[in-house]
Structure 1
Amino acid sequence: MAKCIKAVRGGIRTYPWTSARFHAHHFIHYATTSLIVVS
């Protein structure tokens, strides 16, 4: 039971980081595409 709780807490801790990293990658891709279109 304790192991399960620990896994859930670990997942909650890593989820925002994974989400933020995904959004950052998406933003960089969008920004570079915009720069290419503008120039």
Structure 2
Amino acid sequence: MNIFTDAFSLVMFLFLPLCPSLSIRIITIRIHTLSIKYA
């Protein structure tokens, strides 16, 4: 699971300058999933 999260963050880092709107949407979705998981 740790390897998957690292790869996901790496892909996000690569796609951040290309399409910021998509990365922002992914970040918000990930924050929502994390808050749901910890809640």
What TM-score does the superposition give when structure 2 sets the normalisation length?
0.54
Unaligned stretches of 5+ in structure 1? 1-15
Runs of 4+ displaced beyond 4 Å: none
Amino acid paired to 1:25: R
Larger radius of gyration: 1
CA distance in 2, matches of 1:38, 1:19: 29
Unaligned stretches of 5+ in structure 2? 1-16
Higher relative contact order (CA 8 A, sep 6+): 2
Identity %: 13
Q: How many residues align?
A: 23
Match of 1:31 in 2: 31
What TM-score does the superposition give when structure 1 sets the normalisation length?
0.54
